[in-house]
Structure 1
Amino acid sequence: MTDRRAELAANLGRVEERIASACAAAGRKREEVTLIVVTKTYPASDVRLLAGLGVRHVAENRDQDAAPKAAECADLPLTWHFVGQLQTNKVRSVVSYADVVHSVDRPKLVSALSAAAVRAGRELGCLIQVALDAGSGEAAGRGGAAPGAVPELGDAIAAADGLRLGGVMTVAPLTGPYAGRQRAAFERLLEISSGLRARHPAANMVSAGMSTDLEDAIGAGATHVRVGTAVLGVRPGLR
């Protein structure tokens, strides 16, 4: 455990240096960017170590893994983010522990999240996941709303009981016009974010960038970066 803590501390230090350097290069203040550590496939013991090292935001992408982990770590001062594709039959469970859902991409999910949040007596932050794979339609296998659907979806979230419209999220596309052009993709997300904020000024979160492309995201204006591998190492089963 001591060795694991030292490993995580060293990895966090390197990621922190990358974030600070990217902020400096972009002329931004370090505090403008929040690090979310994606702890998927890693045990609750790692979450505890991360919390002890000062991490305050963690993310999961599968409810079946996240729910027991969040329960085991309920005593820690953490904000839990759900970043995976979300089916409506998992909504009640996710709402029980998540503070922010990054993957809202359709009206049916807005309705389900609202009902569950009201039932649980909670306010849930919601980010609209934007698919940049193509001009319209859903991102293959990754979910996401088409850019043109963002205004209407934002209005629906803002009007829904129990929900708070936080902003937008994207995953750098593997296909389509932005494939291999992460910086351009993130700049496009910022344009979409600006349009959303014109309608909903408080929706100022921009969740973009992961271990391999966080510098591009920060350079484009991301407020939150989602980093897993660079902090925790290569996921079990992928070594």
Structure 2
Amino acid sequence: MDAERIRLNIANVHQRVSTAAEKVGRRADDVTVMAVSKTRSSDEVRTAVAAGLRDLGENYLQEALEKRQATADLDARWHFIGPIQSNKTRAIAEHFDWVHSVDREKIARRLNEQRPDSLPPLDICLQVNVSLEDSKSGVAPEDLAPLARAILQLPRLRLRGLMAIPAPTDDVAAQRAAFARVAELFRDLQETVPTMDTLSMGMSADLESAIAEGATLVRIGTDIFGPRSG
């Protein structure tokens, strides 16, 4: 997609965020827009960062590593948002600033062990399977608290929040109900985990519902870069 269209799309997304936040008495500045840049070129990433987006989300490790190397001069935060295989944890621990998709203690322990001492603690979100879909990654809601307690013992990780991808639906009431459940789980954990400040939920199709229920970070791909081919 050409640079001017990406810039216009980003402006439109910011307007949607601002309108959604205003409707529920929130400040737009309290919601971070992440550009989901998987399958996108380094030039498209550069355009997004030049337009003011600092947070970049990637699902595919090898592609992300190549893209990060090609854009090493950018002031950006790189977030890994895809499923994590054990053989990928070292590269993720070494090259990302955030991980949104932690759902097992084994993976958390590997990320902790493999995070270089020269880097700050790795910021992580626990992915919760709020819709209990068999096809989705994520920890069941009832297992969140034990996983959080285990992660608090890992010094190279910093537990920052929850991430969720509810079952897709065009029903706004259903969208909000799912996000409200994630927000409730988030508030419950905050009572014992004071570092929790991030609620990563909402994408192009449902960001308004997510913001209405308290999202602090929305993950936007299609409405910034257009439909993807892969």
- TM-score, with length taken from structure 1: 0.91
Structure 1 stretches of 4+ moved >6 Å: none
Cα distance in structure 2, aligned partners of 1:63 and 1:180 = 35
Partner of 1:147: 141
Mapping 1:5-154, distance limit 5 Å: 5-118=3-116, 121-134=119-132, 139-154=133-148
The superposition leaves residues 174-222 of structure 1 with CA deviations (integer Å, 9 ceiling, x where unpaired) of 49xx998211110000000001100111211100000000000000000
Amino acid at match of 2:87: N
Query: What secondary structure, in the 3-state scheme, does the structure 1 residue paired with 2:48 have?
Result: helix
Cα distance in structure 2, aligned partners of 1:174 and 1:5 = 29
The superposition leaves residues 122-144 of structure 1 with CA deviations (integer Å, 9 ceiling, x where unpaired) of 4100100000123xxxx423210
Contact 1:173 1:179 in 2 (8 A): no
- Deviation (angstroms), 1:120: 6.0
User: Of the candidates 156, 159, 166, which is equivalent to residue 165 of structure 1?
Assistant: 159
| Count of residues in correspondence between the two structures | 229
Cα distance in structure 2, aligned partners of 1:53 and 1:189 = 30
Cα distance in structure 2, aligned partners of 1:95 and 1:199 = 25
- In structure 1, runs of 5+ residues without a counterpart are none
- TM-score, with length taken from structure 2: 0.95
**Compared CA separation, residues 62 and 109, structure 1 to 2 (3 A):** same
Contact 1:133 1:174 in 2 (8 A): no
User: Of the candidates 192, 199, 210, which is equivalent to residue 199 of structure 1?
Assistant: 192
Contact 2:108 2:151 in 1 (8 A): yes
Cα distance in structure 1, aligned partners of 2:83 and 2:118 = 21
- In structure 2, runs of 5+ residues without a counterpart are none
Cα distance in structure 1, aligned partners of 2:55 and 2:106 = 27
Identical residues among aligned pairs (%): 36
Give the superposed CA RMSD. Answer: 1.8
